[in-house]
């Protein structure tokens, strides 16, 4: 299987990249992002692309892939609604369109989040925008599209978030994680998210939206 990974330097993306490089069924991983991953591996190829809105210049390199794992995203904290929607909905759909044009048989997996609002009418701005993004992706004629909605994600194997206040959050919760992991409805790990993405891309899933409990089930 040949995989394109967006957001490989973020916390979730780091975990997904690790699992792709370890999985014998993944032959090639193309990481596309604004910064290099800093890793070297026989499976790994990279495109460092500052303008993620315009992929035409690297279009030929995006063809021939079986799956896209889209882990690129921003926090809504402190952002204006229009800016958050532009980066969350607008950029995701722009990338998805470019990939679909070149890979009509692709499976597209999008990392959303627990609490996403599929009705697009709820009180939380970020949840409405995520829901709008999910709904638009599910309408696109990919071979298949799946929305991952993890809750709390425990970083493993040296994976770290780049956001300072997230790092503090994970540092505080690390001692109680052994208790949190017994609540699979809300808790998963970077390892499990990565493994679940690969397995869903290969084998499919009975639903289009996977919450933490579903992610853990596929991963186990």
What digits encode the pLDDT tens for the residues 29-60? 999 999 999 999 999 999 999 899 999 889 89
CA of 3: how far to CAs of 108, 120, 186, 207, in Å? Answer: 10, 30, 27, 21
Q: 47-51, 157-161, 176-180: which has the highest mean pLDDT? A: 47-51
The residue extents of the domains of the chain are 2-219
Please state, for a pLDDT cut of 90, what percent of the chain lies above it: 78
Q: How confident is the model at residue 184 (pLDDT cuts 50, 70, 90)?
A: low
Q: Provide, rounded to the nearest whole percent, the portion of the chain with pLDDT above 70.
A: 88
What is this structure's pTM? 0.91
* Distance in angstroms (rounded) separating the CA atoms of residues 92 and 125: 17
Question: What is the reported pLDDT for 93?
Answer: 98
Q: What is the pLDDT of residues 71-120, one digit of tens each?
A: 998 888 889 999 999 999 999 999 999 999 999 999 999 999 999 999 99
Distances (CA, A) of 7 to 15, 52, 67, 70, 112: 11, 11, 14, 7, 13
How far apart are alpha carbons 112 and 130 in whole angstroms? Answer: 6
Fold of 2-219: Rossmann fold (3.40.50)
Instruction: Give mean pLDDT, residues 160-174.
Output: 55
- Closest listed residue to residue 195, CA positions, set 72, 15, 11: 15
Question: Does residue 161 register a pLDDT over 70?
Answer: no
Give the model's pLDDT for residue 166: 52
Tell me: pLDDT of 61 over 60: yes
In this prediction, residue 171 carries a pLDDT of: 58
């Amino acid at each position: 299987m040949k995989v394109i990974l967006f957001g490989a330097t973020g916390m979730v993306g780091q975990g997904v990249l690790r699992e792709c490089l370890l999985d014998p069924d993944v032959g090639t991983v193309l990481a596309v992002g604004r910064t290099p991953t800093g890793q070297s591996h026989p499976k790994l190829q990279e495109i460092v692309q500052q303008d993620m809105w315009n992929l035409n210049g690297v279009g030929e390199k995006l063809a021939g892939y079986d799956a896209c794992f889209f882990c690129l995203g921003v926090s809504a904290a402190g952002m204006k609604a229009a800016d958050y929607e532009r980066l969350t909905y607008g950029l995701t759909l722009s990338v998805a369109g470019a990939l679909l044009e070149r890979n009509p048989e692709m499976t597209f997996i999008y990392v959303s989040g627990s609490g996403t609002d599929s009705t697009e009418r709820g009180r939380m701005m970020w949840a409405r925008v995520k829901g709008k993004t999910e709904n638009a992706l599910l309408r696109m004629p990919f071979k298949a599209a799946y929305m991952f909605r993890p809750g709390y994600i425990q970083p493993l194997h040296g994976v770290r978030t780049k956001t300072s206040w997230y790092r503090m959050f994970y540092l505080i919760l690390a001692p109680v994680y052994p208790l949190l992991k017994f609540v699979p409805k809300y808790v998963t790990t970077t390892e499990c998210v990565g493994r679940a993405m690969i397995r869903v891309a290969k084998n499919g899933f009975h639903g289009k939206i996977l919450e933490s409990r579903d992610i853990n089930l596929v991963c186990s």
